[in-house]
Amino acid sequence: MASRLRTRTQDLLGHDKLGEVDELLRKFNYDDTTFFELGLQLGLQYATLNKIKAEHSISNCLIECLNAWIEQVDDVKKYGGPSYYTLIVALRIIKQNRVADAIDEEKHPACAILACYKDEKFILNPLPQLAVLLYKEDLIRARILPNADGALSLLREVQQSICANHRNLMKFADVLKLMPATQKIAREIKESYLEKVHSNEIVDEAEVTEITDSDISIQGQELDAFNAIRTKFASTVYDATEAMVSISERDLRTYLCRGYPHLASKLEKCTTIDDLLNMLANECSLTDVSLLEAVADRFKISPATELIQEYKEAVDDFCEKTPLTECLNKKISSGSMLESEKIVIHVRGLASEHRFKDVKELTEHAFGKLNSQVKITVIVVKKSFTVTCSFPLILSESLIASVLQNLETLKAKGLEQLTIGYGIVYDVDEKECDEAAVYARKGIVEQLLLSRTVQLINCCQEKKAIIAEAEKKKVEYQEEKEMLSKNLISCQQSDSEVSISADIATIVYAAMTRHKHIINIEFVSDITHMFRKYQFYGHQYPKFGIYLNIPKERLDFIERNFKGDLARCLIECLMAWLRSPDDPSTKSWETLILAIRHVDEKEVADNIYNEKCKPCEVLPEYYVKLFGSIEEPFELADILCSKGVLDETSLTKIKKATKEEKTALLKARELLLQVIQKSICRRKENLKIFAEALQKFSSTAQLGDEILEKCSFINFVHSSI
């Protein structure tokens, strides 16, 4: 018997659907003479089908077969029960694929949505590494070991789970949302799901327990308070964003990109100021409008600031006075559907004895500075009341540590049990609750493993993206260089004396010096190595970050999440600067050195300057001018050889260029400059010797003066930079 995924009880078909199923099969021209084979694949036994065949005409056998299936006779339950999913699977097994596809498209639009992305490499590539997460979230039946077909096998499993339960599409979208490379796809899937499959529910069924009259008593006026604060929230967000339409789209985008990098994937989709403001509104919740407030303050939108302040006062009043009973089973904010991104807090006591502010205080005590990253999604009640929250998976380790640190306070507030993802952090009935015992629990180990896995995948994807971008720029640069070289040779060949036009010289100069001293995210490893080498530990990283124009909000985020780890804070500042959308030309070694000097680390700045701003980078600035001005390359080579700048081998190589025909002079110049460049990079003093040699020839004397002046600047720049 083929193994089947379990179908949700809510999706099982009852007798009221018998006519609908029969009509669908006939609508799509199902061959009812194959009812016997279909029945076997639905779980009906041979004897049952024989009896149906004996007692009914062929035209009625199909309806009788479907009726027995819906009544769940024989082995129907073992085959997944009567559902459209099991019917589609059975139809495909008996080769009725056209009918199966038609029913699937009509009854399972969630499958059609996923099918649009089945070939996306960004989805397929990380799936083998996420097999454990997919298994824990019931999206696949068993851990599938990565192999040549591992990703496709996993995706087929996910497709089957979505076919069996369309809500699994939203769960899979939440998995994709964990990785920046697939966040855009996740958002598109969710939007399509809400549009085509599922209207927005107030609270997910799995999270809500029905409240009976015996549980609590809610007064009419209390019911109105929650609706009132919801109404005020809606009007405040609307009016505040309307007041912000005057903000420049570019300025707002830059501010959000620098200060809130976790919004990067959402910012990509925003093309207008209205899109940005709608995104801001969606990031707010009933009890948290801090992002909207930050924007209003940053751009000095007084009407919006006043509205938000008034709303915050109303929320404080609501939290202070509103009984918790009024907030039960209400969707307070949207949250992830993943079990690994849920926090469940069971608190001793009756909901009627608490107010909403007690829940806020509880989460603040539990999660400390990370509380802003944790969203209360719903509060339900059984014997005690339960608070469900949503959080980013990658913060698992930090949240567990925070709870353990504040455990005694939480116990005093009536905490009975607290789970983060799959792991129980505290249970009043557990005998062993010390830190070592908590971290040894299977659920905690699995949670931390998944958190680290996602972080590793994200790092790998980011590295690949950086390398791909670097390769792209390298190719572009190489193509441009080749084109310029061809243009230059073309100009040179027309005149043996090589008269280079000002336009060509300018273009070549720009190409040679474009990347001078510019740094990007690829340099992080090199920079951190130098920080350690020259003992720059980042004790004043906030001042360092401010000099690099990192927004205060981003610095606050770094302080909250990496407090106490100065080296990590410094690196986070560095990465925030390098990832900012500023003009790439502003990200240079010179800027970094000035920032280090700004925090009074002069010696470190000098060491980095001497190591990275080497004299060998001077020559490319003068390459075109030198190429057009050196009239006696062989004489110049002789002088440099006598001074030890060139060796005999290099001199011989240059002089061999005279054997060429009319390009001899050009070839000699090119080889001479290449050899000198290598010599200068080996020994910086050679730059000065080269400049003094240029002064001996009238055609290059002025260039010699300029380069000599550059040498003086390099030698003494540390005293004036």
pLDDT tens digits for 30-84? 888 888 888 888 888 888 888 888 888 877 888 888 888 888 888 888 888 888 8
For residues 477 and 471, the answer to whether their CB atoms sit within 8 Å is no
What total of structural domains would you count in the chain? 5
3-state SS class at 554: helix
In a domain, 232, yes or no: yes
For residues 334 and 259, the answer to whether their CB atoms sit within 8 Å is no
- Residues 6 or more apart whose CB falls under 8 angstroms from that of 531 comprise 537, 538, 570, 604
Q: What is the pTM of this model?
A: 0.53
For residues 688 and 676, the answer to whether their CB atoms sit within 8 Å is no
Sign of CA dihedral 614, 617, 622, 626: positive
- Residues 6 or more apart whose CB falls under 8 angstroms from that of 476 comprise none
For residues 186 and 176, the answer to whether their CB atoms sit within 8 Å is yes
The whole domain housing 70 covers 9-107
**What distance, in Å, lies between the first and last C-alpha atoms of the chain?**
79
Largest CA-CA distance found in the chain, in angstroms, rounded? 115
Are residues 247 and 334 located together in one domain of the fold?
A: no
pLDDT of residue 58: 78
Q: Which residues pair with 379 in a beta bridge?
A: 387
3 Ramachandran zone, left/alpha/beta (phi>0; psi -120 to 50)? beta
Are residues 258 and 338 located together in one domain of the fold?
A: no
Point out the domain boundary residue: 169, 200, 231: 200
Alpha-carbon distance values, 261 to 59, 70, 458, 524 (Å): 64, 52, 14, 18
Are residues 122 and 192 located together in one domain of the fold?
A: yes
Are residues 648 and 637 located together in one domain of the fold?
A: yes
Are residues 184 and 249 located together in one domain of the fold?
A: no
Alpha-carbon distance values, 352 to 160, 224, 365, 597 (Å): 44, 16, 21, 60
Residues of the chain with pLDDT under 50: 1-6, 8-10, 199-223, 494-516, 661-662, 716-721
In a domain, 703, yes or no: yes
Length of the chain, in residues:
721
* CATH number of the domain bearing residue 283: 1.10.533
* CATH number of the domain bearing residue 432: 3.30.70
Which amino acid type is present at position 395? L
pLDDT digits (tens, 9 = 90+) for 166-183: 788 888 888 888 887 787
- Residues 6 or more apart whose CB falls under 8 angstroms from that of 522 comprise 466, 467, 470
Alpha-carbon distance values, 614 to 100, 433, 710 (Å): 70, 58, 11
445 φ/ψ angles, rounded to the nearest 5 degrees: -60, -45
Are residues 95 and 133 located together in one domain of the fold?
A: no
Which amino acid type is present at position 650? S
Point out the domain boundary residue: 166, 200, 234: 200
In a domain, 533, yes or no: no
- Rounded Cα–Cα distance for residues 199 and 579 (Å): 38
Of 158, 328, 301, 195, whose CA–CA distance to 240 is shortest? Answer: 301
Mean pLDDT rounded to a whole number for the chain = 77
- Rounded Cα–Cα distance for residues 551 and 542 (Å): 10
pLDDT of residue 671: 81
- Rounded Cα–Cα distance for residues 680 and 678 (Å): 6
Q: Where are the alpha helices (DSSP H) in 494-588?
A: 502-513, 524-533, 541-547, 552-561, 566-579
What is the 8-class DSSP label of residue 645?
Answer: S
Residue corresponding to tokens 């990380």? 126
Q: Report the run of H or E that residue 347 belongs to, with start and end.
A: strand 342-347
Q: Which two tokens stand for residue 594?
A: 């000035």
Are residues 71 and 32 located together in one domain of the fold?
A: yes
Are residues 429 and 401 located together in one domain of the fold?
A: yes
Q: Which two tokens stand for residue 561?
A: 């999440």
For residues 577 and 589, the answer to whether their CB atoms sit within 8 Å is no
652 φ/ψ angles, rounded to the nearest 5 degrees: -60, -40
Are residues 404 and 331 located together in one domain of the fold?
A: yes
What number of other Cβ atoms are within 10 A of residue 653's Cβ? 17
346 φ/ψ angles, rounded to the nearest 5 degrees: -100, 125
- Rounded Cα–Cα distance for residues 187 and 170 (Å): 10
pLDDT digits (tens, 9 = 90+) for 571-609: 888 888 888 877 776 787 778 888 888 887 888 887 777
For residues 108 and 160, the answer to whether their CB atoms sit within 8 Å is no
Which amino acid type is present at position 688? K
Residue corresponding to tokens 């939203």? 170
Q: Which residues pair with 285 in a beta bridge?
A: 288
Are residues 29 and 71 located together in one domain of the fold?
A: yes
Which amino acid type is present at position 309? Q
In a domain, 656, yes or no: yes
DSSP code string of 468-512: HHHHHHHHHHHHHHHHHHHHHHHHHHT-TT----HHHHHHHHHHH
Point out the domain boundary residue: 107, 132, 156: 107
- Residues 6 or more apart whose CB falls under 8 angstroms from that of 662 comprise 493, 496
pLDDT of residue 514: 43
What number of other Cβ atoms are within 10 A of residue 171's Cβ? 20
**CA 343 to chain centroid:** 22
389 φ/ψ angles, rounded to the nearest 5 degrees: -125, 165
- Rounded Cα–Cα distance for residues 233 and 284 (Å): 9
469 φ/ψ angles, rounded to the nearest 5 degrees: -65, -40
pLDDT of residue 147: 55
Q: Which two tokens stand for residue 679?
A: 């010599």
pLDDT of residue 626: 81
- Rounded Cα–Cα distance for residues 580 and 562 (Å): 20
Q: Report the run of H or E that residue 133 belongs to, with start and end.
A: helix 131-136
- Rounded Cα–Cα distance for residues 714 and 581 (Å): 30
In a domain, 449, yes or no: no
Are residues 290 and 261 located together in one domain of the fold?
A: yes
Are residues 331 and 434 located together in one domain of the fold?
A: yes
In a domain, 241, yes or no: yes
- Rounded Cα–Cα distance for residues 686 and 643 (Å): 9
- Rounded Cα–Cα distance for residues 219 and 281 (Å): 31
- Residues 6 or more apart whose CB falls under 8 angstroms from that of 330 comprise 202, 203, 226, 378, 379
pLDDT of residue 428: 86
In a domain, 545, yes or no: no
**CA 146 to chain centroid:** 23
Which amino acid type is present at position 8? R
Do the bridges between strand 423-427 and strand 415-420 make them parallel or antiparallel, or are there none, so unpaired? antiparallel
- Rounded Cα–Cα distance for residues 19 and 319 (Å): 52
Of 410, 403, 378, 377, whose CA–CA distance to 391 is shortest? Answer: 377
In a domain, 138, yes or no: yes
- Separate counts of helices (H) and strands (E) for the chain: 36, 5
